[in-house]
Amino acid sequence: MKGTNPFTHFIMANADALISIFNEANALPAGPERERFLAEACQGNPPLQEQVVSLLESHDGAGDFLKGTILFPAFLLAEKPGAMIGRYKLLEKIGEGGCGVVYVAEQTEPVRRRVALKVIKLGMDTQQVIARFEAERQALAMMDHPHIAKVLEAGSTETGRPYFVMELVRGIRITDFCNQGKLSTKERLDLFTKVCQAIQHAHQKGIIHRDIKPSNILVTLHDGVPVPNVIDFGIAKATEGRLTDATVYTQLHQFIGTPAYMSPEQTEMSGLDIDTRSDIYSLGVLLYELLTCNTPFDGQKLMASGIDAMRKTIREKEPVRPCARAPG
DSSP secondary structure, 14-46, as one string: THHHHHHHHHHHHTSPTTHHHHHHHHHHTTT-H
- Burial classification of residue 206, based on how many CB atoms lie within 10 Å of its CB (0-12 exposed, 13-18 middle, 19 or more buried): exposed
Residue 211 designated active-site = yes
Options 60, 64, 176, 211, the catalytic residue: 211
Show contacts of 255-260: CB within 8 Å, 24+ apart.
255/99, 256/210, 256/211, 257/210, 257/211, 257/213, 257/282, 258/211, 258/213, 258/299, 259/297, 259/299, 259/302, 259/303, 259/310, 259/314, 260/213, 260/285, 260/295, 260/296, 260/297, 260/298, 260/299, 260/302
Task: Give me the active site residues, please.
Answer: 211
